Amino acid sequence: MPFVAFYSEHSDLELQNEWEDRLRVHHPLVKLVPLFSDQAENAITALLWKAPLKRVKKLNNLRGLISLGQGVDHILKDNIIDNKIPVVRIVDPFMSKSMSHWVILSVLNFIRDTFGYYNQQKNKIYKSRKEINFTTIKIAVYGIGAIGSIVSKDLKQLGFKVYGWSRTQKKISGINCFIGKNKFKYLLKSCDIHICLLPLTIETNNIFNNFSFKMMKHGSCFINAGRGEQVDEEHLIENCKSGHISSAILDVYRKEPLPKMSELWHQENIMIWPHVAAETNPETAAKQIANAIKCIENGKLPPNTIERKLGY
C-alpha cells in the first residue's frame, strides 16, 4: 500500500480522512499518514500545506511533493527541500472560478459602495450614495496565469476595461497584457482598481509598498488574494488612513491567522477575509492529485510540476 505523508496547517484527522476518501475514488490503494508518524518514513509522496519543512526533509524516501493549493512558496521557502525533488501544484478550474467570484464580489462591492450602504442601514439612513461609472474605470490584474487569466476574462465579460501584468508575455483575448517594470509602473499610475494574484517569488516579495501605493491614483482600490508577503502592510495602512487608497480588500496576510493586535483590523476602509477566496476543494481536486501520486510512484513527472527556478 503506497503511503502518502499528509500535513495541512490548522487541520485535523477529519480533513485527512476526507482527502483519503476522495483520493481512493481514483487511486483505491492510497493511504494518507500523518507527517509526524512512523509510517511517514516510508512515504514516497507528501501532500502538504504549510508543513514543517525540516520534518519533510528527513523523509528519505520522498520522490515528490504535492501542494494542497495552487501556491508552492510554502514548500520552496528557505531552500530546505532538495531541488531534485519535483514539486506539484494544483490547477483546478473550480478554484479558479471561486477566485474569480471573490474578485468580482470585491470589485462590485467597491463600485456600488456596499459597505457604505451597510453603515447607512445600521444608522437607519435612507439615501443614495455615489456610484462609480464602471465603463470608465480601469482594472489591473497583476498575475495572469492559470487563475488570473480566468479572473481577467470574467471581469471583461462584465464590461470592465481590464489590463494584465505578468513575468512573461501572455495573450488573452480582449485583455491588454503587459510585462516589465516600466509597464508595472504604467498600470499603477493609470488604473483605478489593482488586483494582486501574483505567485510569491523573490521578485514579487514586497512588490506593493509605499512607492507602489503612492504611484496609484488617489482614491484607488487595492485587492490582494496573492500572498501577504507581497504587501508592506504598514505602508498600506498609512495610505488607507490618508485616503490615498480609498478601499482595500484583503484575503492574505504576512502572518496568518491575522494577529488580533494587527492594525489592519481597525482600519475602517480595509476589508478582512480569512484566506478563503479560493480554497482547495477535495471533491474537484482529488482526481489530479491522485494522478500526480500515481506518476510519482511510477517515476514519471506529474502534470503541473513547477519550474523550481521560477518558483511556480
Based on the fold, state whether residues 88 and 98 are members of the same structural domain.
no
Based on the fold, state whether residues 147 and 33 are members of the same structural domain.
no
∠ CA(67), CA(299), CA(18), 5° rounding? Answer: 40
The total number of structural domains that make up the chain: 2
Based on the fold, state whether residues 98 and 84 are members of the same structural domain.
no
Question: What pLDDT score does 35 carry?
Answer: 97
Based on the fold, state whether residues 203 and 87 are members of the same structural domain.
no
Question: What pLDDT score does 105 carry?
Answer: 98
- The pLDDT tens digits of the residues spanning 179-220 come to 999 999 999 999 999 999 999 999 999 999 999 999 999 999
- The pLDDT tens digits of the residues spanning 119-130 come to 999 999 999 999
pTM: 0.93
Does 308 map to a domain? Answer: no
CATH number of the domain to which 216 belongs = 3.40.50.720
Does 304 map to a domain? Answer: no
pLDDT over 90 percentage in the chain: 95
Buried b (16+ CB within 10 A) or exposed e, 273-303: bebebbebebebbbebbbbbbbbbbeeeebe
Question: What pLDDT score does 126 carry?
Answer: 98
Based on the fold, state whether residues 244 and 116 are members of the same structural domain.
yes
Does 140 map to a domain? Answer: yes
Based on the fold, state whether residues 85 and 175 are members of the same structural domain.
no
- Structural domain containing residue 39: 3-92+280-297
pLDDT at position 107 over 80: yes
Confidence band of 2 (pLDDT split at 50, 70, 90)? confident
- The pLDDT tens digits of the residues spanning 18-77 come to 999 999 999 999 999 999 999 999 999 999 999 999 999 999 999 999 999 989 999 999
Cα(first)–Cα(last) distance of the chain, in Å? 31
